[in-house]
């Protein structure tokens, strides 16, 4: 979804607009001429009018097909824009709560352990690795023990970290909302594309209750 794709649709629209107006105008003129020639019983001109009308109608239908395709492309672009806005809005709602939870994890692990854990998770996500490195496992085990207090797995915590990174890259700070409002929104309005994050987000909010963070 880029400005170039939008500009391309604009160019196509302008390219169609002039020929379409020309063909519509010609259609009206031919219809008027046909009526006049019928009234005057000028059958030769009438025959010629019908040939021209048939050709113009074919051209007009072709342009209208192009116009319909352009309309469909515009509709598709609008749908993508709305979907992106919906995702951005959802991300902004959860980001601050994830940040608060991550800060609590950092405090419980201690700075030295957290630096290694954060780097390990970021590296794994960035380079799409399946496992942590051998020298990271000791620190990840400490994370696993801490997360077990709120019934959350390391994999779910990784998803939350990924969601936070995604939110930071797509949206600036949004409007503050209270915990219960956001918890309810999770159950009623989480976009389809973010459904994989539903489980980790529920455990995130459970953690706020278990650790009395709010």
pLDDT, one tens digit per residue, over 64-82 is 888 788 777 777 776 776 6
Q: Which one has a higher pLDDT value, 139 or 8? A: 139
The predicted structure's pLDDT at residue 81: 64
Angstrom distance (rounded) from CA 31 to CA 27: 6
Residues 112 and 162 in one domain: yes
The predicted structure's pLDDT at residue 171: 47
pTM higher than 0.75: no
Residue range 149-165: mean pLDDT, rounded: 91
Residue 85 resides in a domain: no
Domain that holds residue 194: 90-210
Residues 12 and 48 in one domain: yes
Residue range 121-131: mean pLDDT, rounded: 87
The secondary structure element, H or E, covering residue 172 is none
Confidence class of residue 172 from pLDDT cuts 50, 70 and 90?
Answer: very low
Using CA atoms, how far residue 140 sits from 112, 149, 153, 154, 202, in Å, is 12, 15, 11, 8, 22
Confidence class of residue 173 from pLDDT cuts 50, 70 and 90?
Answer: very low
The predicted structure's pLDDT at residue 3: 62
Residue 181 resides in a domain: yes
In the chain, % of residues over pLDDT 70: 86
Angstrom distance (rounded) from CA 6 to CA 1: 8
What are the CB-based long-range contacts (under 8 Å, 24+) for 190-193?
190/90, 191/83, 191/86, 191/87, 191/90, 193/83, 193/87
Residues 34 and 59 in one domain: yes
The predicted structure's pLDDT at residue 195: 85
Residues 58 and 94 in one domain: no
């Amino acid at each position: 979804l880029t400005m170039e794709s939008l500009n391309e649709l604009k160019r196509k629209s302008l390219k169609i607009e002039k020929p379409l107006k020309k063909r519509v105008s010609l259609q009206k003129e031919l219809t008027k001429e046909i009526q006049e020639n019928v009234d005057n019983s000028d059958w030769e001109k009438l025959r010629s009018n019908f040939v021209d009308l048939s050709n113009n109608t074919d051209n007009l239908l072709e342009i209208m097909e192009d116009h319909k395709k352009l309309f469909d492309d515009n509709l598709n672009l609008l749908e993508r824009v709305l979907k992106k806005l919906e995702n951005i809005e959802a991300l902004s709602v959860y980001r601050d709560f994830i940040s608060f939870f991550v800060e609590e994890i950092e405090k419980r692990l201690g700075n030295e352990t957290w630096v290694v854990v954060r780097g390990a998770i970021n590296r794994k996500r960035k380079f799409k690795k399946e496992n942590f490195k051998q020298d990271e496992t000791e620190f990840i085990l400490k994370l696993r023990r801490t997360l077990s207090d709120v019934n959350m797995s390391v994999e779910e915590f990784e998803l939350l970290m990924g969601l936070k990174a995604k939110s930071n890259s797509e949206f600036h700070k949004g409007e503050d909302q209270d915990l219960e409002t956001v918890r309810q929104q999770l159950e009623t309005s989480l976009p389809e594309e973010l459904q994989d994050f539903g489980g980790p987000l529920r455990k995130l909010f459970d953690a706020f209750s278990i650790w009395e963070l709010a």
